[in-house]
Structure 1
Amino acid sequence: MKLLRYGPVGNEKPAILDQNGDIRDISGLITDFTTEQLLPENLKKLTKVDVTSLPVVTGNPRLGAPFVGSRKFLAIGLNYADHAAEANMPIPPEPILFTKTTSCIQGPDDDVMIPKNSKKTDWEVELGIVIGKCASYVDKSDALEHVAGYVLINDVSEREFQLERGGSWDKGKGCDTFGPIGPWLVTSDEIGDPHDLDMWLDVNGTRMQTGNTRTMIFDIPTIVSYVSQFMTLEPGDIITTGTPPGVGMGFKPDPIFLKPGDQIHLGIEKLGEQRQAVVEWQERSD
């Protein structure tokens, strides 16, 4: 299944994408795609719904993040060997774990804002894991049983905040609008092998990133098992799993960073595409 939410910010409705690519409103059966809906028993109930009986959503509505209520937005750094090389950093002996704020989560095509005093805002196309069942000290062999599905994420990052301002990477990872997610949550049964998905990202029509999830250093079972050794993973928690080469800070001799007016277009095989306009910082209205 491909689960999504559509409508204005704060008033999104739940929907399912059918086999023809039409959005089918399911708000007559459930109120929203909350973390509770990601539990295995509730996803199973959704598979029994006759999608063709649901009303079709016409037009081109805004899409929100495909579910709400995440308590943790976690990330794995330097998880592609070729990206570590372009960042001039060693391949990590174990996963590098940091956090993105849940307040940075937004719809897949919402504008990305350049933070105040930013000089080095960057892009990162990434595969996101969505937890569907609590995981605490899980074995690698059982880890995928705790995954509800996968999402496309742009792990927008401010490199000066992240790497030059002292402390943890978190400073450059959780700014407002730095977590576009979606367009859909694709359930695990529809993905097949998540370790063989093509991924790419363009800026202003120029291809910047090309990769495949097969080149991840730490695979998804390893990541889920590893993170669960340090905290309980709960339904709706998101783990974004790293990016292939081609980020702005990796360009030689001069890095390239985002500026207002830029257009970002990214995608991962089976997970859909995102398009974001880059804009100047503005006060949030919500």
Structure 2
Amino acid sequence: MKLLRYGPSGSEKPGLLDAGGRVRDLSGIVPDIAGDALTPDGLDALRAIDPETLPLVEGTPQDDLRLGPCVGRVGKFICIGLNYADHAEEANMPIPPEPVIFNKWTSAICGPNDPIQIPDASEKTDWEVELGVVIGKGGVYIDEADALDHVAGLCVINDVSEREFQIERAGTWDKGKGCDTFGPTGPWLVTRDEIEDIDALDMWLDVDGERQQTGSTATMIYKVPHLIAYCSRFMSLQPGDIISTGTPPGVGMGQKPQRYLAGGETVTLGIAGLGEQRYPVRAASEAKGRR
């Protein structure tokens, strides 16, 4: 299944994408693509529904029908740094001996076509196409052998990052990772049964039509089962939590000369089988409330 949330920001309704690429309304079945709906029992109940029996939503998704973040009420937005061998080489940094964990604030989450807002005083806003793993079955101290049983589905994420905030100021990476609009998520949540091989997904990102990132989950250092088991040592994982699993090479920081977003660009990215995102970038001077 491809589960999604559609409608105005803050008032999204749950839906699914049918075989014809049309949105079907699930609001009469579940209140949101969140919580219990993401558990194994919740997903099984949704699979049992014939999409043709659900109300058809007018409009074309990602065109004249806005899609919101594909998961609602996210409790934790966990990110993994330097998790692709070729990206670590690009960054001239050693492969970490354990997964690097940081956080994006859930207020950073936005839809797959919502504009990216460059924050005030930003000099180095960057892009990172990433595979998002959404937890469906909660747990703590999860065995790696059982970890995929805890996955509701996968999605596309752009781990937008302000590198000066992240690296050149004192403190943790988090301050450069969680600005508003820095977590585009979706377009849809693709349930795990639809993905043949998580370790062989092509991924890419363009800025103004120019290819910046080309990669594959095949070069991930720590694979998805290990990341789930590892994170669950330090926190309980709950339905709707997101783990963003790292990025391949081609980020602006790794280029020579470095290249960053200034505003006015269009960013397009995607992962095989999981859909695409496309949005404009707004300069800091266009921030809401600025005059």
Same fold (TM > 0.5) = yes
Q: 163, 167, 170: which is aligned to 1:163?
A: 167
Would you say 1:270 and 2:278 are equivalent positions? no
Matches within 5 A, 1:220-235: 220-235=224-239
Q: Which amino acid aligns with 1:197?
A: L
CA distance, structure 1, for counterparts of residue 110 and residue 249 of structure 2: 24
CA distance, structure 1, for counterparts of residue 99 and residue 35 of structure 2: 26
SS in structure 2 of the partner of residue 11 of structure 1: coil
**Structure 1 pair 55–177 and aligned structure 2 pair: CA distance change class (3 A):** same
The aligned counterpart of 2:13 is 13
CA distance, structure 2, for counterparts of residue 148 and residue 30 of structure 1: 16
Deviation at 1:28, TM superposition (A): 2.2
The aligned counterpart of 2:178 is 174
SS in structure 2 of the partner of residue 226 of structure 1: helix
The answer to whether the Cα contact below 8 Å between 1:127 and 1:240 also exists between their aligned partners in 2 is: yes
RMSD: 1.2
SS in structure 1 of the partner of residue 281 of structure 2: strand
Q: 71, 75, 79: which is aligned to 1:75?
A: 79
Structure 2 gap segments, 5+ residues each: none
Q: Which amino acid aligns with 2:13?
A: K
The aligned counterpart of 1:119 is 123
Q: 98, 101, 105: which is aligned to 1:97?
A: 101
CA distance, structure 2, for counterparts of residue 108 and residue 37 of structure 1: 21
CA distance, structure 2, for counterparts of residue 91 and residue 247 of structure 1: 17
Would you say 1:46 and 2:24 are equivalent positions? no
The aligned counterpart of 2:58 is 58
SS in structure 1 of the partner of residue 229 of structure 2: helix
Deviations 1:134-193 (A, max 9, x none): 121111101111111111000000000111001111010000000000000011111121
CA distance, structure 2, for counterparts of residue 70 and residue 85 of structure 1: 32
Q: Which amino acid aligns with 1:116?
A: D
Q: Which segments of structure 1 move beyond 6 Å, counting only runs of 4 or more?
A: none
CA distance, structure 1, for counterparts of residue 78 and residue 289 of structure 2: 23
SS in structure 2 of the partner of residue 195 of structure 1: helix
The answer to whether the Cα contact below 8 Å between 1:35 and 1:67 also exists between their aligned partners in 2 is: no
Q: Percent identity?
A: 60
The aligned counterpart of 2:112 is 108
SS in structure 2 of the partner of residue 64 of structure 1: coil
User: Under a length normalisation based on structure 2, what TM-score does the superposition of the two structures give?
Assistant: 0.95
Deviation at 1:284, TM superposition (A): 7.2
The answer to whether the Cα contact below 8 Å between 1:249 and 1:256 also exists between their aligned partners in 2 is: yes
Q: 245, 249, 254: which is aligned to 2:249?
A: 245
